[in-house]
Amino acid sequence: MNEILKGIPASSGIVIGPVYIVGRDDFEVSRRAVSEGDVVSEIVRFEESLIQTRQELIALQRKIAQEFDQEQAQIFDAHLLVLEDRMLIEEVISRVKREKCNVDFIFQEVLKKYVNVFSRMEDEYLRERIADINDVGKRVLRILSGKKKRALSDFEEKVIVVAHDLSPSDTAAMHRKNILGFITDIGGKTSHTAIMAKSFEIPAVVGVEVATSKITAGDTIIIDGGAGIIVINPDAKTIANYKEAEDEILAKAKAFFSLKELLAETRDGRRVELVANIELPEEIPFLLDHGAEGIGLYRSEYFYMNRKDLPSEEEHYEAYKLVAEMMKPYPVIIRTLDLGGDKFISQLQVPRDMVPFLGWRAIRFCLARPDIFKVQLRAILRASVHGKLKIMYPMISGVEEMRQANRVLEEVKEELRTKGVPFDKNMEIGAMIEVPSAAVTADLIAKEADFFSIGTNDLIQYSLAVDRTNEKVAYLYEPAHPAVLRLIKKIIDDAHRNKIWVGMCGEMSGDPMFTLVLLGMGLDEFSMPSKMILQIKQLVRSVTMKQAQAITEEALTFSTAREVEKFSKKKLKELVPQVYDSL
Ligand code: PEP
Ligand code: MG
């Protein structure tokens, strides 16, 4: 009764419910000896699993060909070839005979060997086959294990999902379904899974490490997302206490709604923009309800997830048109495809990088694949006549990439002009500043951009060399680190010296702990999960610019993140106790 686990708070709120355990996707099968007499049945089991996988793949391929087109369906040809690889099949069968152990284990071993060999190949095409081998391998192993994969959008009853890990696309599938909350063994505060949980207001705790080993099917648990606490099989008294705490949290959040129609301005009249980050257009009614005056970051890559093909230009266009119209007259900043890092898009068949966050991702990928990039740019430009759209490029690392991206954009504009297709000629084009080299050369990039948006989630991970998704180094992921504060100040100053505006769309902009410091630095726009907008508005409205500037000045004198945090907390308590109390 009442066993407590602690993890990293990812999304606040309290929920109580039964658990649903998600099995690991990459099965680790252990070796099990089989008797001489059972060797044949192991081989039969293997052959049947290959036949079943083949049937599943062909059915999937047919469905894709009907719903989309033949070309997309051909992706599965490579998967089918893996299933027919005689060398692989014979190696598995002969090892089962020789080693007399379970076929799942041998199959897994042989797959690993193949992946190893392919990953060392010079030929890029062959290296890319690793994704096919892994995909097919997982299917076969799942069939061998007798497990069924349940889609996270399928639940008929309300559950709390407990998983080793959830990909951002898994989390996207949870949207508005019967999922009360989730817990994962791994992950950090700004991993995209955590970010999605906040957007959907699903309480979540990540990086719990032992969640899947301590929690079992049939358990009831409480998640306190704000505190990062999980209670397993709580007693009646604990449940009653948490229900009371939940009511209190809801009442406090409700109190901020009185600010909805008020301006986001300081006591001496400095206006800032408080806008929202979204992953899916379905979030729009929700962000308007929280008083957002626009979208400062539309993570367009979610549009590419949970599907087997690439979206067509028409689909992109319809989606952006809808968002532009729904948000009119407010601005919407569409961040162009930011694939990579912890956001993996299966249909692109991109090989996984050894160090994904430093690899072939975001603008690097788009510049290498103008065919894919141009489809998106064309659709955004066409949709720009339906509202106020802006474009920003992710992961810009220097002036050259900014220029290259703008050249591609110019080509697309020229094509549209030739065809007489209208678009907003004054659309603003911005750069995300999230790579340290871009921060250091922000004065140069500012000359090529209409605005900046500071992506602190990545800026922190790159400047402090801390993987944002790794719970083991989460203690080093410090937004208040003096290095981060100095970089942010430099970016804002460089933008203003070059007469462009600057916003922030990393999670730091929705953290009340930093609002006054950022306000004092002169940040023009704060883009955050909608849920935080009204609290941040309360903070902005509670001070004068002079007070905020004094806070910034003092914050920059400290040598450690802990000192900065202590100081920020003190100021928050002193100046805006209602927000301090709501945290
Ligand atoms: C960031 O890096 O701060 C950001 C907003 O982008 P993402 O979290 O999608 O990488
Ligand atoms: Mg980023």
Is residue 205 very low, low, confident or very high in pLDDT (cuts 50, 70, 90)?
very high
Measured from the CA of 192, which atom of ligand 1 is nearest?
8
> What's the pLDDT at 84?
84
Extract the runs of DSSP E, i.e. beta strands, from 246-400. Answer: 273-278, 295-299, 331-335, 388-393
Ligand 1: nearest atom to the Cα of 190: 8
Residue nearest to atom 4 of ligand 1 (CA): 455
Are 284 and 320 within 8 A, CB to CB?
A: no
Residue 19's DSSP bridge partners are 160
- Rounded to the nearest angstrom, the distance between the alpha carbon of 428 and the centre of ligand 1 is 20
* In the predicted structure, residue 30 carries a pLDDT above the cut 70: yes
Determine which one of 192, 290, 386, 481 is catalytic. Answer: 192
Question: 11 to each of 194, 259, 351, 470, how far by Cα in Å?
Answer: 7, 23, 31, 17
Average pLDDT for the chain = 90
| pLDDT over 60 (residue 351) | yes
Residue 373 has pLDDT above 90, yes or no: yes
Digit-coded pLDDT (tens) for 239-249: 999 999 999 98
* Backbone dihedral angles phi then psi of residue 563, each to the nearest 5 degrees: -65, -40
> For this structure, is 192 an active site residue?
yes
**Residue 286 and residue 429: Cα distance in Å, rounded?**
26
Range from 337-351, 391-405, 429-443, 535-549 carrying the lowest mean pLDDT? 337-351
List b or e across 253-267, with b for residues whose CB sees 16 or more CB atoms inside 10 angstroms.
beebeebeeeebebe
The tokens describing 237, both together, are 């008294």
Ligand 1 centre to CA of 230 (Å) is 27
CA dihedral sign, ordered 265, 266, 270, 272: negative
Distance 227 CA to ligand 1 centre (A): 23
The least confident of 23-37, 95-109, 287-301 is: 23-37
Catalytic-labelled residue, pool 79, 316, 366, 505: 505
Q: Who contacts 544 (Cβ-Cβ below 8 Å, separation ≥6)?
A: 266, 267, 268
Q: Report the pocket of ligand 1 as residue ranges, CB < 6 Å.
A: 297, 299, 338, 434, 455-458, 505-506
Whose tokens are 């997830």? That residue is: 305
- List beta partners, residue 388: 331
Residue nearest to atom 7 of ligand 1 (CA): 457
Ligand 2 center to 195 CA (angstroms): 12
Q: Which ligand is nearest to the CA of 455?
A: 1
- pLDDT over threshold 80, residue 301: yes
456 Cα to the center of ligand 1, angstroms: 7
**Quick check: pTM over 0.85?**
no
**What percentage of the chain exceeds 70 in pLDDT?**
92
Q: Which one of 338, 464, 468 would you pick to mutate in the ligand 1 pocket, going by the greatest count of ligand atoms within 8 A of its CB?
A: 338
Cβ-based burial of 36 (10 A; exposed 0-12, middle 13-18, buried ≥19): exposed
Mean pLDDT of 501-529: 97
The 10s digit of each residue's pLDDT in 309-328 is 789 999 999 999 999 999 99
Evaluate if residue 160 carries a pLDDT over 80: yes
**pLDDT score, position 21:** 86
Active site residue 290: no
Ligand having the closest approach to the CA of 507: 1
Q: Which residues surround ligand 2, an ion (CB under 5 A)?
A: 434, 455, 458
How confident is the model over 142-167, as a mean pLDDT?
A: 77
How big is the CA angle at 252 (ends 246 and 254), to the nearest 5 degrees?
A: 100
Give the pLDDT of residue 240: 95
> Which ligand has the nearest atom to the CA of 192?
1
| CA-nearest residue, atom 8 of ligand 1 | 457
Distance of CA 64 to the CA centre of its chain: 26
395 Cα to the center of ligand 2, angstroms? 7
Residue nearest to ligand 1 atom 3, measured at CA = 455
Distance of CA 73 to the CA centre of its chain: 27
Which ligand has the minimum distance to the alpha carbon of residue 335? 1
